[in-house]
Copies of this chain bind each other. A is one copy, B any other.
Amino acid sequence: MGERGDIVLPGWQTMSYFSDVSNLCWFLEPEFAHQVRRLHSLVGNAVVDDGRFIIVGTGSTQLFQAALYALSPPDAAEPMSVVSAIPYYSSYPTVTDYLRSGLYRWAGDASTFEGDAYIELVCSPNNPDGSTREAVLSSKNGKTIHDLAYYWPQYTAITGAADHDIMLFTVSKSTGHAGARLGWALVKDKDVAQRMTKFIELNTIGVSKDSQLRVAKILKVVLDMYELPGNKHRLFEYGRRQMSMRWRKLRAAVKASGIFSLPEFQSSLCRFTGEETETYPAFAWLKCEKEGVEDCESFLRNHKLLTRSGRHFGVEAKYVRISMLDRDETFDLFIQRLLSLR
């Protein structure tokens, strides 16, 4: 990207709370919204027609809470049940419950949930195990939030434009700018979009304009690269090459060890690249098959390998989650140490 992604922010700029008073999401920078629409149009991973509302958030973590707030009845006697099929993203239970809200409450594994009213979180490709997912529950009073943080061409085949009621995306996993703390939701229903906006107003009175303007610039440069014919500096292809290389190294190390296993994925036709492609998740879901090892996280920590135990994801401690997005040096050191295990 070179210097093309630089942005200059003058000292006097963007001082007001407001970005666009005519927009339902009044703190959404129009240029950021424009680049988000352009991005989805290029990649083809989500429907982003004019009827869809864009809500910007301080990362998708804030948008997740905004969606819980928007989907929970404000005056119910009991908190709404929030569920997700195991293994689920370890932050879902923690972030749902840390304020002990009377509006919503973590209720565990969606697959074993009994009840009619719920909010189901569907993460696809799934964090931690990389699987492609759909909602497991279905009910007139049930709602779903689709967390599509990883539905980008560097991680998986783009098989079609997702068209759900609430879809969450984040800059952290699309371009990798986690430090900008920026995400966005695509929302079908106007009332839901309004309540999500209200949540962000109450929670942080809007979202950093500096991050919105900067990320808009970065997205613009990324997208412009796809309009120059024959250009080789294309983000998603670069990301896919990196992920593919890392997964090759990881699979080789796991095979050599003989004591671990990894999920297998079917390849699919990616409509973005036009090629049959494998899935290369941002996290690897490693299972320890070694006899006598019940706690894989401890076993690996004893060998100076830091992972996150399956227990946080609602399953057995034989599983751990490994980040595939660390720096090259860290990742290569991880592979070296893994190779030394038998």
- Decide: B10 and A202 in contact? CB cutoff 8 A: no
**Does A265 lie at the interface of the complex (its beta carbon under 8 Å from any beta carbon of B)?**
no
A177 to B, closest residue via Cβ: B15
Contact bitstring A58-85, B, C-beta under 8 A = 1, else 0? 1101100100010000000000000000
- Decide: B208 and A14 in contact? CB cutoff 8 A: no
**Does A299 lie at the interface of the complex (its beta carbon under 8 Å from any beta carbon of B)?**
no
Among B101, B172, B221, contact of A101 (Cβ-Cβ < 8 Å): B101
Q: Which of A1-9, A184-192, A284-292 contacts B (4 or more CB under 8 A)?
A: A1-9
Most chain B beta carbons < 10 A, residue from A19, A207, A218: A207
With A99-B69, A100-B102 known to touch, is A208 a contact of B221 (CB < 8 Å)? no
**Distance between A70 CB and nearest chain B CB, rounded to angstroms:** 12
**Does A55 lie at the interface of the complex (its beta carbon under 8 Å from any beta carbon of B)?**
no
**Does A211 lie at the interface of the complex (its beta carbon under 8 Å from any beta carbon of B)?**
yes
Contact bitstring A7-35, B, C-beta under 8 A = 1, else 0? 11111101111010000000000000000
**Does A214 lie at the interface of the complex (its beta carbon under 8 Å from any beta carbon of B)?**
yes
A69 partner residues in chain B, CB cutoff 8 A:
98-99
Give complex CA distance A58, B101 in Å.
21
Among B2, B176, B204, contact of A181 (Cβ-Cβ < 8 Å): B204
**Distance between A155 CB and nearest chain B CB, rounded to angstroms:** 17
Give complex CA distance A202, B210 in Å.
22
- Decide: B11 and A6 in contact? CB cutoff 8 A: yes
**Does A245 lie at the interface of the complex (its beta carbon under 8 Å from any beta carbon of B)?**
no
With A202-B95, A211-B208 known to touch, is A14 a contact of B179 (CB < 8 Å)? yes
With A58-B58, A59-B205, A100-B103 known to touch, is A5 a contact of B11 (CB < 8 Å)? yes
A211 partner residues in chain B, CB cutoff 8 A:
208, 210-211
A177 partner residues in chain B, CB cutoff 8 A:
14-15
- Decide: A221 and B179 in contact? CB cutoff 8 A: no
**Does A209 lie at the interface of the complex (its beta carbon under 8 Å from any beta carbon of B)?**
yes
**Does A180 lie at the interface of the complex (its beta carbon under 8 Å from any beta carbon of B)?**
yes
Task: Give residues 168-185 of A contacting B (CB, 8 Å).
Answer: 172, 176-182
Give complex CA distance A3, B101 in Å.
46
28 pairs from A and B in contact (CB 8 Å cutoff): A1-B12, A3-B10, A3-B11, A5-B11, A7-B9, A7-B11, A11-B217, A14-B177, A15-B177, A15-B178, A16-B178, A19-B179, A58-B207, A62-B204, A65-B203, A69-B99, A99-B99, A99-B101, A99-B103, A179-B210, A180-B209, A180-B210, A181-B206, A181-B207, A182-B208, A203-B203, A208-B210, A211-B211
The 8 closest A-B pairs by CB, nearest first: A5-B11, A100-B102, A208-B208, A179-B209, A14-B179, A58-B204, A210-B210, A99-B101
